[in-house]
């Protein structure tokens, strides 16, 4: 795309100026876009792109660092906080942050908020990785098969995908959990059932484009088996799109886990989870703001980390796209 632009601009400068400036060299300024400006614009665009590539790599590193900090804190929770997340202290309920040896205060039962945030993150991050990776793999394979085989296979699979897209995601998940009963495992099941469809749709579109490209035709001409063409040739060249999307999806799944916890359909008390903590804290929001707000900040922190990783990966894996 960008390569074509200097040629177009140069063509403009070689041609005659527009009719209304008949005679003499056109004074600079009567042009809304002088051809030389057009060239300059192209140069600037290119420069900006290479500069932003470096910045985006930095973005990726910051994102990875943030996620690393979060994972370390959550895995190393027993080393960081001495108090158990479910230890009730009836003498010190609702004590504000920094008071009485509780860095982030206590909730209505006197449980340490910091400890609950760190331990609670285990559930949310488990969803981010556990639910997302399964749907990523399954959806990618479905999309690959649908795109490569085409015909009735494609038609059938895509109608199923359309069907899932017809439901508002959260409503379908709630309905499934309603039937199975609220629990963390059923939350996983509901996400596995429903959210592979986005991956399938993205991967199918990528595969259809790749199928017509020369390297695939070459592989097929060499007589490689369908499986080999699909998994060894098409997949490595197209998988970046779904990987980038999986970062967005991971944020979605964390928010989903928290939302279900908030609605009382995910993690059940007393096990700590960010969404259930926010839901608990909402009742005390007038007097004790920290119970509801701090777990939310934890979600935002992890979410921004995934978001930055996704942005950085997008640039490194698909350099031509931006």
Partner 1 sequence: MSRFGTLPRRLIHLVIILFGITLVTFFLLRLIPGDPALAILGSSYTHQRATAIDASLGLNKPIWTQYGLFMGHLFHGNLGYSYFYSESATTVISQHLAPTVFLVIYSAVLAAVISLPLGFISGVRRGGIVDQSTRVFFTISFAMPAFWLGIILLLVFSVHLNVFPLSGFGAGIAGHLYYLFLPALTIALGFSTVLIRSLRAATISTLQAEFVDTARMKGIAYSKVLRRHVFRVAVLAVVAVYGVNLAYLISGTVLVENVFSLPGLGQLLVNSVSNRDYPVVQAVALLFAVMIVLINLLTDITQASLDPRVGQEIGE
- Rounded to whole angstroms, the Cα distance separating 301 from 295 reads 10
Which residues, other chains included, contact 206 with Cβ-Cβ below 8 Å and sequence gap of 6+?
A: 143, 147, 238, 241, 242
Counting every residue written for the chain, the total comes to 322
- Rounded to whole angstroms, the Cα distance separating 305 from 64 reads 7
* Among 264, 301, 288, 275, CA closest to 102: 288
- Rounded to whole angstroms, the Cα distance separating 33 from 44 reads 15
Q: Is 286 in the site for partner 1 (CB under 8 A)?
A: yes
Per the structure block, which two tokens stand in for 28?
A: 């600079």
- Rounded to whole angstroms, the Cα distance separating 301 from 269 reads 24
Taking the complex as a whole, the smallest distance from the CB of residue 51 to partner 1 amounts, in Å, to 10
* Among 106, 104, 76, CA closest to 91: 106
Which region among 3-11, 70-78, 85-93, 197-205 touches partner 1 (by CB under 8 A)? 3-11
Q: Is 212 in the site for partner 1 (CB under 8 A)?
A: no
Taking the complex as a whole, the smallest distance from the CB of residue 206 to partner 1 amounts, in Å, to 16
Q: Is 109 in the site for partner 1 (CB under 8 A)?
A: no
Q: Is 282 in the site for partner 1 (CB under 8 A)?
A: yes
Instruction: Print the binding letters for residues 175-204 with partner 1: x by CB under 8 A, - otherwise.
Output: xxxxxxxx----------------------
Site for partner 1 in 293-322 (CB under 8 A): 293, 296, 299-304, 306-308
Instruction: Print the binding letters for residues 21-50 with partner 1: x by CB under 8 A, - otherwise.
Output: ---------xxxx----x---------x--
Which region among 75-83, 104-112, 139-147, 169-177 touches partner 1 (by CB under 8 A)? 169-177
Q: Is 148 in the site for partner 1 (CB under 8 A)?
A: no
Q: Is 151 in the site for partner 1 (CB under 8 A)?
A: no
Instruction: Print the binding letters for residues 231-260 with partner 1: x by CB under 8 A, - otherwise.
Output: --------------------x---x--xx-
> In this complex, which beta carbon is closest to partner 1, that of residue 161 or of residue 235?
161
Unique residue bearing structure tokens 């479905």: 142
> In this complex, which beta carbon is closest to partner 1, that of residue 31 or of residue 138?
31
- Rounded to whole angstroms, the Cα distance separating 190 from 119 reads 23
Q: How far is CA 145 from CA 138, 161, 195, in A?
A: 11, 13, 17
Cβ-based burial of 221 (10 A; exposed 0-12, middle 13-18, buried ≥19): exposed
Among 79, 90, 91, 171, binds partner 1 (CB under 8 A): 171
- Rounded to whole angstroms, the Cα distance separating 308 from 314 reads 10
Among 6, 10, 12, 150, binds partner 1 (CB under 8 A): 12
Could you list the residues that contact partner 1 (CB under 8 A)?
1, 5, 8-9, 12, 18, 20, 30-33, 38, 48, 159-160, 162-163, 165-172, 174-182, 251, 255, 258-259, 262-265, 275, 278, 281-282, 285-286, 289, 292-293, 296, 299-304, 306-308
């Amino acid at each position: 795309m960008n390569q074509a632009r200097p040629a177009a601009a140069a063509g403009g400068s070689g041609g005659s100026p527009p009719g209304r400036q008949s005679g003499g060299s056109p004074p600079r300024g009567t042009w809304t876009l002088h051809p030389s400006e057009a060239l300059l614009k192209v140069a600037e665009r290119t420069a900006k792109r290479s500069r932003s590539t470096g910045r985006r790599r930095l973005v990726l590193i910051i994102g990875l660092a943030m996620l690393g900090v979060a994972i370390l804190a959550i895995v190393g929770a027993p080393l960081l906080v001495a108090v158990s997340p479910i230890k009730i202290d009836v003498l010190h309920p609702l004590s504000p942050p920094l008071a009485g040896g509780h860095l982030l205060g206590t909730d209505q039962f006197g449980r340490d908020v910091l400890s609950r945030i760190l331990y609670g993150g285990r559930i949310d991050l488990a969803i981010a990785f556990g639910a997302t990776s399964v749907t990523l793999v399954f959806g990618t394979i479905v999309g690959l098969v649908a795109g490569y085989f085409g015909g009735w296979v494609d038609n059938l699979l895509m109608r199923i995908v359309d069907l899932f897209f017809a439901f508002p995601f959260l409503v379908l998940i709630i309905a499934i959990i309603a039937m199975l009963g609220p629990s963390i495992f059923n939350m996983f099941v509901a996400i596995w059932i429903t959210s592979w469809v986005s991956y399938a749709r993205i991967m199918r579109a990528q595969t259809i484009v790749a199928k017509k490209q020369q390297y695939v035709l070459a592989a097929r001409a060499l007589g490689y088996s369908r499986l080999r063409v699909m998994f060894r040739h098409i997949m490595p060249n197209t998988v970046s799109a779904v990987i980038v999307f999986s970062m967005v999806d991971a944020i979605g799944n964390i928010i989903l886990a928290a939302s279900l916890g908030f609605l009382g359909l995910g993690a059940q008390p007393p096990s700590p989870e960010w969404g259930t903590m926010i839901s608990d804290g909402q009742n005390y929001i007038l007097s004790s703001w920290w119970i509801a707000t701090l777990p939310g900040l934890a979600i935002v922190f992890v979410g921004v980390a995934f978001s930055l990783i996704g942005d950085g990966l997008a640039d490194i894996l698909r350099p031509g796209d931006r």
